[in-house]
Amino acid sequence: MRPLCLALLVLAFGCLSHQSVQAQIDPNSVPDVGTMVRITMTDGSVYLGEIISQELGIIRLKTSNLGTLQVPTVNIERLEDLTGDKMRKGKYWFENPSYNRYFLGQSAQPLRKGEGYYQNIWVFFNAAHYGITKNISIGGGFEFLSTFGAQTPIFFLSAKAGFPFCQRSSAGATIRYLNIADLSGNDDIDTDLAGGLFLGTAQYTYGTNDHNITGGIGYGIAGKEAADRPVFVLGGQTRVGRRMGLLTENYIIPGDRVEAVFIYGMRFMGERISFDLVFLNHREIAKVIFIGIPMVDFVFKFGK
């Protein structure tokens, strides 16, 4: 289990270090004169302004507070076109850093190639996801305390394929494996979850990076026994401000008595980080805590 923990850390920080040595932008990809852009330099400096001219590897940029700058394209790490709704009332609206993620699950929208994120829930649970192609991403995570003394610590592995189509639609499928902790230290104990839990989910998402809704259906295999009924998933998020959004993620199991788990709350955003404050609820939980059990996470986006 400990090698798995180290592998996840190497994955996250290895991708970060890769970004620091990536090739710079192609001068031929620079937008036309008159375009508002946001330029991030290799030294971390950020400039926002209008392109006046571009020739011989030099961009002349008209800014509101620094005047006209001459920016060498060889020193540019990222150039973002600000046409459309990225400028609102004179303020730059950065991309939602968690555009394809709710709280525990994801939408059908794929991570971009070379893009990923690290998530920490309540300090003890750690996860990382990374886009290996434009349509396929992989992920994994572990629960910290169970790595000490448990015969089978809690960890998960996942693989996801997502395919955008039309203008605002995406379809995807996710496969997850969750290893369940055996805290008893007795290998002879046979439980329904011995061998772990496999879950396959098909998803459809409609919307934009700031406002989207996802519906899905999944089936699970616990140990050697397959579930006799599906799990329905319904999630969504909406960005209500430059740095704030609302999200929900719900799991419904039909049957003689419908079981449902609800997650809902707020998201606070920066350019590469987000912080969620949500509540997990169920009919039995609501009898004790009406609004549900509070849960928090911190997410850091890396890559593109």
My answer on whether 156 and 197 are in the same domain is yes
Q: What is the pLDDT along the chain (304 residues), one digit of tens a residue?
A: 454 444 444 444 444 444 444 445 666 678 888 888 888 888 888 898 999 998 888 999 999 888 999 999 888 888 888 877 787 887 888 999 999 999 999 999 999 999 999 999 998 999 999 999 999 999 999 998 877 766 678 899 999 999 999 889 999 999 999 987 554 455 554 455 556 889 999 999 999 999 999 999 999 988 778 888 899 999 999 999 999 999 999 999 998 889 999 999 999 999 899 999 999 999 999 999 999 999 999 999 998 6
**How many CA atoms are closer than 13 Å to the CA of 28, on its beta-carbon side?**
0
Q: Give 67's contacts (C-beta < 8 A, 6+ positions apart).
A: none
174 lies in the same domain as 290 = yes
Query: In this structure, what token pair is assigned to residue 185?
Result: 């230290």
pLDDT of residue 193: 53
Residue 214 shares a structural domain with residue 118: yes
Q: In this structure, are 126 and 187 located in the same domain?
A: yes
Q: What is the pLDDT of residue 36?
A: 87
Residues 135 and 6 in one domain: yes
Report pLDDT for 182: 55
CATH of the domain at 171: 2.40.160.40
Is 65 part of any domain?
yes
- Whether residue 22 lies inside any domain: the answer is no
Q: Are residues 63 and 163 in the same domain?
A: no
Q: Are residues 270 and 200 in the same domain?
A: yes
Domain final position from 92, 120, 137: 92
CA distance 195 to 180: 8
Same domain, 171 and 151: yes
Domains in the chain: how many in total? 2
Helical H segments across 21-115, by residue range: none
In a domain, 24, yes or no: no
Summarised one tens digit per residue, pLDDT across range 265-274 is 999 999 899 9
Do 37 and 128 reside in the same domain of the chain? no
User: Buried (b) or exposed (e) across 100-118, using 16+ Cβ within 10 A?
Assistant: bbbbbbbbbbbbeebbbbb
pTM of the complete model: 0.78
Phi-psi bin for 114: left (phi > 0), alpha (psi -120 to 50), beta? left
Q: Rounded to an integer, what distance in angstroms lies between the CA atom of residue 102 and that of residue 136? A: 18
pLDDT the model gives residue 184 = 47
pLDDT at 244: 97
Query: What pLDDT, on the 0 to 100 scale, is given for residue 145?
Result: 82
Asked whether residue 42 falls in the same domain as residue 74, the answer is yes
Give the domain range for residue 208. Answer: 2-17+96-303
pLDDT value for 192: 53
pLDDT value for 12:
46
